Structures are given as structure tokens and as C-alpha cells.
Amino acid sequence: MKYLQTSLHVGDNDCASDALRPEQLAAIHVRELQQKIDELAPDAPPDSRLRLTLEYCYALLEGHLFREAWESARQALDTAVSEGLWTQGVEACDIMFQSEQEQSIKALAHGIWLGVTFPVDPELSVAMLQHLIDESPDRSDGAAVSAAVACYLVDLRATGNQRDELVFFTQQMLGQVARRHSQVEDQEIFEFWMQQLELDNPDKFLPRLAKVLNLLTEGDWWFDRDRLRAQIPE
């Protein structure tokens, strides 16, 4: 899977020089990508420029240049939203979240809103919701709601092999959240837990997610959600 990947552990390197090598490679990659961006024609399509810019931002993250990654991704988000490039908008928010800056949680909320509202790659939407679950306390209803939304989006959007992989992943994720939230272990209690928290009804859990996101942004949204809703495909 592209967005849901296991973490790499630097501690597995054999020596200090090995530990530095990924950052050195990232620095080379950053320079290469910056050169490609600089060489783009002024009238290059916005999606082509955005793809390179986001790849550049991810390379900055790999090189631990977090502030630079944030600033470039923040500009990329505005461009993506203005052009209706929703996947790139979510990716920009993902970069800002991973940059670990003061407003990273706010960026995560924006990315989740875009990823739930628009028909982007369901794996990307699930990855953003997984971030929120990881940031939530064990007994948080917000984590439970996020897991339920992830399952719902996969059921709604995913097809083929991706669907099989994501159904398994999100069901495991929901089970882990249930254990963290209420020590749920068996199927009968799990079903009761789902009903009690109304996690089996999208008319209930989707508005609850909206409330969580509004709390995370403190009501300070970087784009006009009503205007963007008018662009939702039929």
C-alpha cells in the first residue's frame, strides 16, 4: 500500500555512518527535485507542478527539514484547493501534520475533512484518520468515530484488491480502538459497543467527526467549506 506503511527504525543500522546515509540521500533528492521545479515552464499545468512540489516536501521530511516542508506544503494546499485537486490537498495536509509544527494537528483536521468530503484514494483518507487515532487518548470517542468513518469510506469507495486490503486493515484498526476504548475482546461485546456508540450509523458518526474536526481547528478553517461543498461531484 502507498500511504499505509510500516515505520522504519533507524536503530537497525549497523553503524553511525549508515544512520546518516538516508539524510544524505534525502538532501540529494531535495536538490534534484528543486531543480526540476525551477525548470518547469511558467505555464506548466498546476497538477504537474503540485506533484513535483509535494514530492519535494516529502523529501524535505526525509531530510528532517520540517519547517521548510511545512511552508512549502502550506502553499501547495492553497493551490490544490483553488484548482480542485483534492488528493494533492490531502497530501499537503499530511506533510504539514508530519512536519510536527505548532499547527500540525489543525493541518491534520483539514486533511481529514478533504479526504472524507471528496472521493480521493480511500487509502489516503484512511491514513489521515489513522493519524488522528494515533494522536487520541485510549478512551477517546473521537478515535472510535475515526475508525468507524475509515471502515465506512472503504466500504463506499474501495474496489478490487485494494478493497480486500483496506477492509482487513480498517477492521483490525476498529478492533484495536475498541480494546483501547473499552477493553472489548469478544464479538458479542464488540457489536454491543458499536451500537452503544452509534458507530453502525453514518448519519450519527459523520456529524460527530465534523464536531471533532471543528474542535481541532478551533473553528479557524483555511478554506471556505461551503464553497468547496458546492464542488462535490454528483
Residue 51 cell numbers, joined: 506533484
Q: Which of 26, 106, 105 is nearest to 68 (CA)?
A: 26
Residues in CB range of 113: below 8 A, 6 or more apart: 213, 225
Instruction: State which amino acid sits at residue 33.
Output: L
Quote the pLDDT of residue 163. Answer: 93
By 3-state DSSP, what share of the chain in percent is helix, strand and coil, each rounded to 5?
Answer: 75, 0, 25
Of the listed ranges 7-16, 68-77, 160-169, 212-221, the one predicted with least confidence: 7-16
- Write down the residue that cell numbers 521545479 correspond to: 37
Q: What is the pLDDT of residues 79-105, one digit of tens each?
A: 999 999 999 999 999 999 999 999 999
Q: Indicate the domain borders of the chain.
A: 14-102, 104-221
Cα–Cα distance measured from residue 49 to residue 73, given in angstroms and rounded to the nearest whole number = 12
Give the Cβ contact number of residue 206 at 10 Å.
14
Tens digit of pLDDT for each residue in 113-125?
A: 999 999 999 999 9
pLDDT band at residue 13, thresholds of 50, 70 and 90?
A: very low
How far apart, in whole angstroms, are the C-alpha atoms of residue 194 and residue 1? 28
Please work out, in degrees rounded to the nearest 5, the angle formed at the alpha carbon of residue 72 by the alpha carbons of 225 and 120.
45
DSSP for 200-229, please give it. T-HHHHHHHHHHHHHHHHTT--SS-HHHHH
Angle between helices 202-217 and 141-157 (to 10 degrees): 120
**Mean of per-residue pLDDT scores for the chain:** 87
Give the mean model confidence (pLDDT) for residues 150-167: 94
What is the per-residue pLDDT across 34-62, written as a single tens digit (0 to 9) for each? 888 878 788 888 888 899 999 999 989 98
pLDDT digits (tens, 9 = 90+) for 187-213: 878 888 888 889 999 999 999 999 999
Rounded CA-CA distance 12/32 in Å is 28
User: Is the pLDDT confidence value at 15 over 90?
Assistant: no
> Does position 27 have pLDDT exceeding 70, yes or no?
yes
Mean pLDDT of 119-137: 94
